[in-house]
Amino acid sequence: MIIRKHPAYLSVEAIVGDRTVLRKLEEGDLQRTLKWLRDPSVNKFLSQDFSSFTQEQEFQWFNFMKNSCRDIVFAIETKDEHIHIGNCGLHKINWIQKSCELGIVIGEKNFWNKGYGSDAIRSVVSFAFNRLGISRIRLNVYQYNVRAIRAYEKCGFKKIKTLKNDHLYEGKYWDTFVMELVKPGA
């Protein structure tokens, strides 16, 4: 079977938002990405503990993403100076159910709380709904990640489920919220 990315992803050059530009993640972005993933003050919010993630694992992940028809990954750049500040992606894309999961990391911490994350989320959501034909996007977020929850809510995501005491962090069990955004009219 030939695995192909969606034509809309193959042909997209850049997704321009108000504050950010999304472009395809490239091999040259991996070193920077690995630094972010290994940073405990960043990876405490992520789906797995990347503290000891290696360059080789990162490269394998990149190749997997490149060849997967169910995942797409973008680099997030600032619109004005084109600084690569993070990555976002759509994962577990189910083309039959028209659903996927959203992942995002702004790894440059001095760019947190300045609207870049919500702008990138709006861009990738719009690409999913309007170019890929996706109608339902879900994500998981830890209870202590109030910044992310606020950013998702600003973009229209709603909490649809609480996984009680699902996540152990610093000796305490925290809830995980499942959040969802459904395309209007879908």
Ligand X SMILES: CC(C)(COP(=O)(O)OP(=O)(O)OC[C@H]1O[C@@H](n2cnc3c(N)ncnc32)[C@H](O)[C@@H]1OP(=O)(O)O)[C@@H](O)C(=O)NCCC(=O)NCCS
The residue number whose beta carbon is nearest to ligand X equals 117
Of 67 and 113, the one with the shorter C-beta distance to ligand X is: 113
| Segment lying near ligand X (by CB under 6 A), choices 67-75, 91-99, 104-112, 169-177 | 104-112
Which alpha helices (H) appear in the chain, and where do they start and end? 7-11, 30-38, 40-43, 55-67, 116-130, 146-154
30-38 and 55-67 helices cross at what angle (nearest 10)? 120
# residues near ligand X by CB under 6 A: 23
* Residue 62 binds ligand X, judged by CB under 6 A: no
Question: Taking CB under 6 A as the rule, does residue 104 contact ligand X?
Answer: yes
Work out which of 22, 37, 100, 151 binds ligand X, going by CB under 6 A: 151
CA distance 51 to 61: 15
Considering only residues 2 to 41 of the shown chain, the ones binding ligand X according to CB under 6 A are none
C-alpha to C-alpha distance for 165 and 162, rounded to whole angstroms: 9
Contacts of 139 (CB under 8 A, 6+ apart): 101, 102, 103, 152, 157, 178, 179, 180
State the nearest-atom distance from the C-beta of 48 to ligand X, in Å.
11
Query: Applying CB under 6 A, which residues contact ligand X?
Result: 42, 45-46, 86, 104-106, 112-118, 139, 141, 145-148, 150-151, 154
